[in-house]
């Protein structure tokens, strides 16, 4: 049961109690759903907006469709005006703090003020020097502002891009300093990814494997360590996807990549990053326009990325099997005592056939305000 109180976040990370209702939480959920209609392959974050009438009986929806198009708030306002929706006294629910930036489009905060919006509820604060400050602008105009609602979901949605935005770059041209990193593995109940004889095909069932390919279709690149690449000879593709639409295939590590490997012979681009310097690896991905990467093993690479605190999200598939011996899903991640453990928060679980999928995000200092 949701509480009727939540916390508002300022750019300094200070939380202050503010009221929020079940209906408002539902409206913000609709804004998140709308945001996912936006593209993943632009330099802008995906943002959704819902405008609810003063009486709470009608609403309109907007989302950002990519660089050069109206922001989510502007789209929602345009829909409202075209349908006769009464803007005066309405409430805006936005997944990201409305911007205060003059760029290709006017500041969304100003547009909401001029439309007569009475209240703004947003999820993630825009701390970037490019667009930040919208909440303060709204408050100065007398608009009631609630922030930090379902904070963690808002952070996930934009892949932490805005935290790294430079001061002197047009927001339409900005490329993040590093991509959003998802680490994935499939394992038995006792944490094994292969049996004692090395067999690993297949630990999970067909439904789990199909779902994993659905996730693959949402990323810009699929990466594995050079050891796993040499041992498993993976294709690094997405099932039932045209050749030109496959994500970039990436191999990281000093072992050479054979031109006779399945990934090299499949006709798609393959990037070999011959290094063990993982910050350098993710920087290389950014320079290759990768904003979202799925690291699909092996345990050495995944563990090292976690040890370097470079993993934003974990995807773990657990099969109802006990192997008792065999290759572990995880290697040394630099933890010597319990208090030094790497923390992740579970944000989704679902059953896929006989298997269970668990999605987790790296725990932040600010935490989840939901």
- Give tens-digit pLDDT for 217-250: 878 888 988 888 888 878 888 887 666 567 888 9
pLDDT of residue 258: 81
What whole-number distance in Å separates Cα of residue 102 and Cα of residue 97? Answer: 15
**How far from each other are the two terminal CA atoms of the chain, in whole angstroms?**
11
CA 145 to chain centre: 25
Mean pLDDT for all residues in the chain: 79
Whole-model pTM over 0.85: no
**Position with higher pLDDT, 200 vs 127:** 200
Contact 232, 300 (CB under 8 A): no
Same CATH fold, 180-362 and 5-164?
Answer: no
State the angle between helix axes of 151-158 and 22-35 in degrees (0 to 180), rounded to the nearest 10. 10
- Give tens-digit pLDDT for 288-333: 878 788 999 788 898 899 988 889 889 999 999 888 887 777 777 7
Annotated domain spans of the chain:
5-164, 180-362
Active site residues: 73
Question: Per CATH, the architecture of 5-164 is what?
Answer: 3-Layer(aba) Sandwich (3.40)
Judge whether residue 145 has pLDDT over 90: no
pLDDT band of 336, cuts 50, 70, 90: confident
Q: Where are the alpha helices (DSSP H) in 233-356?
A: 262-265, 278-287, 299-307
Q: What CATH class does 180-362 carry?
A: alpha beta
Full DSSP string of 109-138: HHHHHHHT--EEEEEE----TTT--HHHHH
Number of C-beta neighbours around residue 58 at 10 A: 15
């Amino acid at each position: 049961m949701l509480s009727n109180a939540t916390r508002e976040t300022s750019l300094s990370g200070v939380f202050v109690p503010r009221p929020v209702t079940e209906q408002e939480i539902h409206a913000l959920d609709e804004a998140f759903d709308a945001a996912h209609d936006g593209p993943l392959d632009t330099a802008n974050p995906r943002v959704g907006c819902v405008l609810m009438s003063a009486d709470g009986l009608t609403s309109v929806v907007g989302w950002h469709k990519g660089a050069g198009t109206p922001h989510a708030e502007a789209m929602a306002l345009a829909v409202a005006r075209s349908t006769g929706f009464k803007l005066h006294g309405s409430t805006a629910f936005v997944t990201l703090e409305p911007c205060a930036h003059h760029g290709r489009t006017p500041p969304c905060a100003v547009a909401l003020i001029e439309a007569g919006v009475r209240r703004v509820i947003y999820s993630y604060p825009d701390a970037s020097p490019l667009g930040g400050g919208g909440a303060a602008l709204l408050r100065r105009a007398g608009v009631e502002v609630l922030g930090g609602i379902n904070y963690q979901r808002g952070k996930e949605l934009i892949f932490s891009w805005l935290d790294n935005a430079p001061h002197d770059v047009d927001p339409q041209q900005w490329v993040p300093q590093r991509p959003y990193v998802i680490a994935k593995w499939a394992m038995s109940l006792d944490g094994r990814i292969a049996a004692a004889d090395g067999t690993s095909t297949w630990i999970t069932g067909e439904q789990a494997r199909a779902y994993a390919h659905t996730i693959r279709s949402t990323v810009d690149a699929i990466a594995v360590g050079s050891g796993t690449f040499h041992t498993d000879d993976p294709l690094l593709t997405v099932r039932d996807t045209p050749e030109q639409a496959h994500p970039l295939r990436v191999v990281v590590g000093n072992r050479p990549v054979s031109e006779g490997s399945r990934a090299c012979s499949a006709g798609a681009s393959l990037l070999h990053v011959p290094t063990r310097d993982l910050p350098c690896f993710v920087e290389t991905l950014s320079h290759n326009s990768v904003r979202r990467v799925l690291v699909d093993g092996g345990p050495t690479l995944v563990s090292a990325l976690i040890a370097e605190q470079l993993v934003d999200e974990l995807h773990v598939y657990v099969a109802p099997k006990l192997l008792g011996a065999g290759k572990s899903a995880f290697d040394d991640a630099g933890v010597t005592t319990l208090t030094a453990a790497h923390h992740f928060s579970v944000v989704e679980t679902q059953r896929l056939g006989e298997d269970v999928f668990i999605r987790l995000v790296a725990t932040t200092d600010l935490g989840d305000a939901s």
